[in-house]
Structure 1
Amino acid sequence: MTVHFQEVVPVDTYSVQCKGMLHEIDHKVLTMLYQPLVGAFAHSLYMTLWCEVNMDRQTQKHQHLMNVTQFSLKDILAGRKKLEAIGLLKTFKKDGDSSREYVYELQLPLSPNAFFTDGFLSIYLFNRLGKAKFTEVRESFYIAQTDVSEYKEVTASFSDVFTSLHPSEMSSKSYAEINENVLPEDVSLHEKDIHGKVVLSESTFDFEAMVNQISSFIVPKEVITPKLKEAIYKLAYIYQLQPMDMSKQIQNVYYSTGEITAESLRKEIQKWYRFEHEEGLPVLALKTQPVPLKALHGMQPQSKEEELIKYFEEVSPYRLLEDYSGTTPSEVDLKLVAYCMIDQNLTPGVTNVLLDYVLSENDMKLAKGLIERIASHWARKKAQTVIEAMTLARDEKRKYKEWQDKKVNSGSYNKGNKKSNVTVPDWLKQDRVSADQTGDANTDTTEDENRKWLESLLNSSK
């Protein structure tokens, strides 16, 4: 058998943490239900550790715990084991050079209902207390309930009291603060098993009208579960969606994923709302590459290619389109930018490379089919930086060249085609051998090849 000093000695340190707060009923449960099972000292040790959670101390030596409880380390270890065994404590250990560090994570006791329906702890307590005392203790937790079957519920719903938020109050900053990185990694929020539930009046949304507008060929009726129905009411109220709008969002989610949950629907509606109200087309297109994804942030370019990388990283897609046309980008072009950044989740820098690539290769035209095809491909490749996107563009060019050579060799192209005005950007030419080096390259032939490649891509994307 392991002796206690092999597990813990007075100089070993410990810290205490928890994931909730003890409430009045918890104190009664600990004293009346757990104490008969673990004993008075283990119960006292548990309450002592709870007090230390609130003293805001980082670490203590076990000698301190011995002084506070006036028990030996052997007794403290025995009490700790009982708390661990009954589910009131989790212990974590890290071995150091000269001592060990422990983290004691306190667990909340079961609720009275959970304890007496446990099937194990309740039987153990019954054997400890006997039938008469067990019944007396259990009855002390009873809460008298009035029969309300003959009463009419008149509880106010959330929508009866509170008004929905205006679009101006639902900014992108709010979304980020609520849903992204709310908590540091080393903290958690207090939890409570039983809590009130927000209920919305069904009169706030015509659920049947929404169901009637959902195609049964796209979304089977059984997909709309009671839990999803509850989420639909809340989302419709928060985002002020009409039945038709909600039916479209449901069909979009199910069509793209083959299933639908409250969370996936919330994300789809949030994306739609941000696009329609707060982050409209111009605002979205004005975003620039995030600083952590900038390869040349705070650096001076040392080559022509680095100048182009810097440009893609610093300008927004909106500005890039302005630079190309010299005028305000059209709504059609901005919708393609939104598709890249919202639907395919491409970063602004990657979107810039894609726009430059297609404009250069397609006679200054943004073809919807080509944009969508390349954007989805780059999204699957998880391209996030400008350099990654440029590498993918060069790879596309190389693959096309290989395919083109086969076509030319088979004589499938008409050599008399008219020359195009396509200008290929310098960064796409990196892997080519220059005309001065080879002495036999032909610029007209290159541009003709580019045009034919784009024609084939556009035809295949229709």
Structure 2
Amino acid sequence: MNNEHHEIQPKTIFQTIINTPLTDQDKEVLMFLYQPIIGANALCLYLTLLSEINSTTGQSDSLFHVDIITTTDMGIKQIMQARKKLEGIGLLDTFVKEDIELGFNYIYQLNHPETAIRFFKDEILSITLLNVVGQRKFNKLFEQFQPKEINLAGYENISADFKEIYLFNEEQVLSQQEFIQTIHHQLKKSRPKRELTVDSETFDWNFFLTQLTNFGIQLPEDEADFKKMVLLYHQSLGIDEFEMANLAAKSFDYYTNQINSQELKKQINQAFYPQKKQRKIDPFYKDMKLSEEEKSSYRYNSLKQMENFSDADIAVVMESEKFAPEIYLTMVKEACNLFPTNIEKYNVRFLVEHSKLPNSVINILIHFVIVIEKKTTFESEHASKIANDWAKEKICSPEEAIIYVKHRQKEKQTKMNTKKPFYKGKQQPIRKEILPDWVENPIKEKKLSKEKKAALDRQIQEFLNRGGES
């Protein structure tokens, strides 16, 4: 049913339910990741509905909407807007039933937010958050929620095994299989997951399907994901039905006549982000008939002869030439106990398509940012700045990139070592006071003779006898 046909009134009855209690982690995700998207009113409504729920039964008593109005200090219109925002992002499902005597009765089912990891991996949620808060804040939030790396180097895991401590009869697993399956089934039903959808009134999906039929091509098997992708590109780039169909016609599999989603993404990127041709230096043995092992040996020996090139440098260079940048990003981040986000993959794809750097040099750039600079995210602005610098220096090979990085780091270290201390503000001239001569050269005291001392004592005594009169 459409919400527009069911306007709530202060005396309209509602009840709130939730399948399982919210955890502290759920509440943090709501506050930091969802609130920037849904706004303060929607979050306030969610928490208000949650506060009415009995933790034992998982549901609230029957209440009137005036209770929400009083608690949140929001009007009916604001509550409706907040409710729609919660529904749209999947935090709330609204059910309505009409009663002859009581009118419309509502049930508000609160849904758990996504975990932080699933939130950042979800294209719709992560891109929406990025558009709201910007790249800098997005990266800060990502760093806040990403799994923390604990250094246990040198430690040995001596934890006890389950079977060493607890009694466990493996035969019981088989005998109780039906009971266990029942429990699993009940748990799956306890927390329903409603997939987010991207809808657009400006894109006629049925007309788009008609165009595909005219081309004689079919949708891929994952139709729901494909539709979400098409609508996302429509909303972000303004691609209409005709243009999208023409791009899809260049992206289908000739054997199955089905659209290849990855190929369509490439067609869209090439159409809207013209690709620059990468500069590449071919090795001297390019035209020689050598096996892969012989080529690898040639490459290793040529790098070995380079001055100040360690075995680690050689390994990084040779690895950079084996993998595509997106795959290399995943490998490097996983090696650092991190995971790549869709935004980071897009940033890498953007460099591949727009910079003039070879893929191997882009891989060195990825290694430099994540491993050397120890940054947890591959930011577009930072990476593009480095890529432009390297392109300006006409760096065409991974070894040139490593040499350039070492040179820049050495220059930076030299500047830090020779840099004079900096004092804020203008230094005031120091006033040097000239001391009088008697301070520098004090006059030596002369001792009185016995006769003069006796005469002086006599004069003092006479002065005192007169009462101090002169």
TM-score by length of structure 2 reads 0.35
TM-score by length of structure 1 reads 0.35
